[in-house]
Amino acid sequence: MTPMKLCRFTAAQHADVRIGVVEDVGTVRDLTTAGVRRLDDLLERADLGDELARLTRHSLPAHALDAVRLLTPVESQEVWAAGVTYLRSKQARMDESDFSARAYDHVYEAPRPEIFFKSVPEKVVSPGDAVGIRRDAQWNVPEPELALVINSAGSIVGVTIGNDMSSRDIEGENLLYLPQAKIYNRSCAIGPWVVVGAAEDEVRQWTIQLQITRDEETAFAGETRVNQIKRGFSELTEYLFRSQAFPRGVMLLTGAGIVPPDSFTLAGGDRVRITISSIGTLENPVIVV
Ligand code: DO4
Ligand code: MG
């Protein structure tokens, strides 16, 4: 199947949320005119490739990409996140906390990965909307992560970009505070669309870039490769689905491989840009919540 970009969007001339195919020429083909009402239903189809080929044979109306408002591709899926899957993440967390260093060291090597709940779908932030830093935290960072899009059968049907916003001082104080460091208003952004039809071997060659701008200047920039991730995508998915069903599918953030220096903390007014090659860019301003 040729990779395709599937999005959720609104457009001035329609009152409802539409589903579209994003084309490299900067247009969005409107699949809703061919009867597609929900992206999660489409992603559930075992014959997704054939269905997309059939749908795109219709002459579908096109919108200019810069004239639509992209919404997060998360519709009804829970969002979960894997952690300490990159060596850089393990090192950063061991440095941030004497208290928890052994736990991070152990989980990086252990057969069972760290996987935690991140967000209900309603709270996921769309491209262009604000992500949050907690007002009771002093050390806040974005975590740029590849997100796996998984259907209810446990099959990885696509990939997208996630931002696992985190309060490092809260997480570093005590591992038991992890949910407070990770789950709060606007702590998870996902988008701008789902790429379907790319195999894991291909995705592992892609780069992840993070750029944080403050007052129009780059305050931090970093890059890694998906290939630096220690674990396989199926390994993470298999653990996530152990003794747990996701009737509407699930999004799994796969961990952060770029960590800004310890002297850096986000501030309200910053902008976070996460780019993954062959997917695109997820950009959000930062506010204090
Ligand atoms: O245990 C801390 C969180 C790890 C994490 O979110 C990551 O490595 O991306
Ligand atoms: Mg993370």
- For 259, the token pair is 């960590």
Q: With 90 as the cut, is the pLDDT of residue 99 above it?
A: no
pLDDT tens for each residue of 70-95: 999 999 999 999 999 999 899 998 98
Q: Is the dihedral of CA 169, 217, 253, 37 positive or negative?
A: positive
- Which stretches does DSSP call E strand in the chain? 4-10, 18-23, 27-30, 62-64, 69-71, 78-83, 114-119, 131-133, 140-141, 144-150, 156-164, 166-167, 188-196, 207-214, 217-225, 250-253, 271-276, 280-288
Structure tokens at 282: 């997820």
- Which atom of ligand 1 lies nearest, measured to the CA of 253? 9
Name the closest-CA residue to atom 7, ligand 1.
83
Give the tens place of pLDDT for each residue, 206-220: 999 999 999 999 999
Distance CA 113, CA 142 (A): 21
Q: What are residue 252's phi and psi, to 5 degrees?
A: -125, 110
For atom 4 of ligand 1, the residue with the nearest CA is 83
Give the list of residues 6+ apart from residue 173 with CB closer than 8 angstroms, or none.
97, 99
Q: How far apart are CA 32 and CA 286, in angstroms?
A: 32
> Over the stretch 186-202, which tens digit does the pLDDT of each residue have?
999 999 999 999 999 99
For a mutational test of ligand 1's pocket, the pick from 94, 96, 114, i.e. the residue with the most ligand atoms closer than 8 A to its C-beta, is 114
Q: What is the mean pLDDT of the chain?
A: 97
Q: How far apart are CA 31 and CA 18, in angstroms?
A: 7
Pairing of strands 131-133, 280-288: parallel
- Residue 86 DSSP one-character state: S
Query: Which residues lie with the beta carbon below 6 Å from any ligand 1 atom?
Result: 81, 83-84, 89, 93, 114, 143, 164, 171, 178, 255-256
Other C-beta atoms within 10 Å of 48: how many?
20
Q: Which ligand is nearest to the CA of 113?
A: 1
pLDDT tens-digit readout, 32-47: 999 999 999 999 999 9
Strand partners, 169: none
Amino acid in the structure at residue 119: S
4 CA distance to ligand 2 centroid (A)?
26
Strand partners, 158: 149
Is residue 31 predicted with pLDDT exceeding 90? yes
This prediction's pTM: 0.97
- Nearest-10 Cα torsion for 35, 39, 41, 44: 130
Reference 7, options 70, 76, 79; nearest CA is 70
Distance CA 173, CA 186 (A): 22
Position 276 scores a pLDDT of 98
pLDDT-derived band at 248 (thresholds 50, 70, 90) equals very high
Amino acid, res. 20? G
Confidence tier at 1 by pLDDT (50, 70, 90): confident
Residue nearest to atom 1 of ligand 1 (CA): 83
